[in-house]
Structures are given as structure tokens and as C-alpha cells.
């Protein structure tokens, strides 16, 4: 009986130690959580102060991107890539206005490397369609006309795209 009481006492003492450790762990977790809240409260005003600077930087970057994307030379360079290296000429109407104010845009692509001429008509038309859709993003209110000619000036393809419409080819 004495031996049984000793075993019971050891078990109770062992269980009590575990409970003490659990209480200690819980107290440590509460202290850590309070510290995290204090750190967040300290950091939040700094973030609120920095936010206008971050927004201003993003707006300046967006303005620079918009300026590049409205540049006719940048648009011509993109078209040149889509149209397999053709030389591109853009003629907006009216001239010297914002892209959104252009009502008509004549695009002439000269196939100086004979890359477009070597394509079958379906591939050439798909390439021209992609070019018209690309340009329509920059000139959303313009009726677009695209003429592709070979290096001698001979016709390869002609197409149009009305604002909001699909490309059409003759």
C-alpha cells in the first residue's frame, strides 16, 4: 500500500509539473502576442506616413509608361515586331492631338525583308489582324486602315478596323 501511495504521489507531482509548464507556455505566448501588437502599433503610423510617397512614385511611373505608350515611335517599334520587321509609317488624323482624339489612322507597312510576302495569305491576315488589334489599344476612337506592300510597293494586304469592331480585310 505504501508503494502504491508513492507511485500515486510521483504521478501527481509529474502531472503538476506538466501543468506548470503549460501555464508557463501560455503566459509566454500572451507576452509574445502583446509584443507583436505593440510592434504593429508602432509600425502602422510609419506605414501611413510612407503610403503617400509610395502612391506618388507609382503614379509617376504610370505617367512615364503612358507617355512611352502614346509615343508614335514606340508604337511603330511594336508594330514592326508584330509585322515581321516591316517598315512602319503612321499617319493620324488629326495630327498633333492625344491618341484618344485621333479619329482615323492610316498605317502603311513596307515588307523590306520579304518576310510577309513569304507567308501564306491566312498567316499574313492573322498577323495583320494582331497588328490592328494592338494599334486599336493606343487609338481607341480611330478608324484604322492598314496597307501592307512588298519592297517594290506591290500590294500584299489591306485591312480596316472600326472602333470597337473586328478587323476586316479586302
pTM for this structure? 0.60
> What local confidence, expressed as pLDDT, does residue 120 receive?
94
Q: Classify residue 88 as exposed, middle or buried by CB count within 10 Å of its CB (0-12, 13-18, 19+).
A: buried
CA distance linking residue 95 with residue 139, whole number of Å: 13
Q: Does 138 score more than 60 pLDDT?
A: yes
User: What is the pLDDT averaged over residues 50-58?
Assistant: 57
Strands 143-150 and 104-111: parallel
Q: What is the phi-psi region of residue 25: left when phi exceeds 0, alpha when psi lies from -120 to 50, beta otherwise?
A: alpha
Which phi and psi angles does 141 have, rounded to 5°? Answer: -105, 10
Task: Write out the H or E segment, with its range, that includes residue 47.
Answer: helix 2-69
Computed over every residue of the chain, the mean pLDDT equals 76
Q: Any idea where the domains of the chain sit in the sequence?
A: 1-64, 70-169
Nine-digit cell string for 107: 498605317
pLDDT above 50 (res 143): yes
Write out the E strands in 48-169.
Answer: 87-93, 104-111, 143-150, 155-161, 168-169
Backbone angles phi, psi at 105, to 5 degrees: -140, 120
pLDDT score recorded for residue 72: 80
Q: What percent of the chain has a predicted confidence (pLDDT) above 90?
A: 55
Instruction: Summarize the confidence of residues 13-39 as an average pLDDT.
Output: 50
Amino acid at each position: 500500500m505504501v508503494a502504491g501511495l508513492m507511485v500515486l504521489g510521483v504521478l501527481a507531482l509529474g502531472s503538476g509539473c506538466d501543468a506548470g509548464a503549460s501555464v508557463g507556455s501560455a503566459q509566454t505566448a500572451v507576452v509574445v502576442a502583446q509584443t507583436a501588437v505593440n510592434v504593429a502599433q508602432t509600425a502602422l503610423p510609419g506605414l501611413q506616413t510612407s503610403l503617400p510617397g509610395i502612391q506618388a512614385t507609382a503614379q509617376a511611373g504610370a505617367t512615364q509608361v503612358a507617355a512611352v505608350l502614346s509615343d508614335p515611335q514606340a508604337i511603330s517599334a511594336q508594330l514592326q515586331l508584330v509585322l515581321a520587321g516591316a517598315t512602319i509609317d503612321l499617319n493620324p488624323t488629326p495630327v498633333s492631338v492625344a491618341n484618344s482624339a485621333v479619329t482615323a489612322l492610316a498605317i502603311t507597312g513596307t515588307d523590306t525583308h520579304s518576310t510577309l510576302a513569304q507567308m501564306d495569305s491566312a498567316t499574313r491576315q492573322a498577323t495583320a489582324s494582331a497588328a490592328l488589334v494592338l494599334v486599336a489599344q493606343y487609338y481607341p476612337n480611330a478608324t484604322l486602315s492598314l496597307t501592307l506592300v512588298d519592297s517594290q510597293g506591290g500590294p500584299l494586304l489591306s485591312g480596316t478596323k472600326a472602333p470597337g469592331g473586328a478587323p476586316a480585310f479586302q
